[in-house]
């Protein structure tokens, strides 16, 4: 069915189809390459804390020096990078920012009896 559809396309549509197929192939290749790079990077890193460190801690032993996990060192003075969200909270005040309508109550009118 796809062959019949391709035969019925105009030249402009065929060019668009070929370009789309080429883009899909390039995207697939890029995903595979990125996946392989990610696997290689993950293989070089071991979990932290290690199972041995967990077992020692469970037995009450303090382990001050942890084994390096193989990841890139982090500079504690570096500014945070993307992906970090923070929210600026307003200072808590009266009503905590809850607003009501500014209406004054009206005195009630006595009911008339229509008898």
Backbone angles phi, psi at 70, to 5 degrees: 90, 0
The pLDDT value given to residue 22: 95
pLDDT digit string (tens) for 74-107?
787 877 776 666 677 666 666 556 666 676 767 7
Q: What is the distance between the alpha carbons of residues 89 and 83, in angstroms, rounded to a whole number?
A: 19
User: Whole-number mean pLDDT of the chain?
Assistant: 78
Query: Is the pLDDT confidence value at 115 over 60?
Result: no
Q: What is this structure's pTM?
A: 0.36
The residue written with tokens 């890029």 in the block is 30
Q: What is the distance between the alpha carbons of residues 19 and 22, in angstroms, rounded to a whole number?
A: 5
pLDDT digit string (tens) for 59-83?
999 888 877 777 777 787 877 776 6
Find the mean pLDDT for residues 37-62: 84
The residue written with tokens 């019949």 in the block is 4
């Amino acid at each position: 069915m796809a062959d019949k559809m391709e035969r019925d396309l105009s030249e402009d549509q065929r060019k668009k189809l070929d370009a789309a197929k080429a883009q899909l192939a390039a995207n697939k290749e890029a995903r595979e390459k990125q996946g392989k790079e990610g696997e290689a990077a993950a293989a070089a890193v071991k979990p932290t804390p290690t199972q041995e460190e967990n077992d020692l801690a469970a037995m009450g032993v303090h382990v001050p020096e942890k084994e390096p996990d193989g990841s890139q060192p982090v500079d504690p003075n570096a500014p945070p990078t993307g992906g970090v969200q923070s929210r600026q909270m307003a200072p808590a005040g009266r009503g905590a920012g809850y607003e009501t309508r500014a209406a004054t109550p009206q005195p009630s009118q006595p009911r008339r009896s229509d008898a």
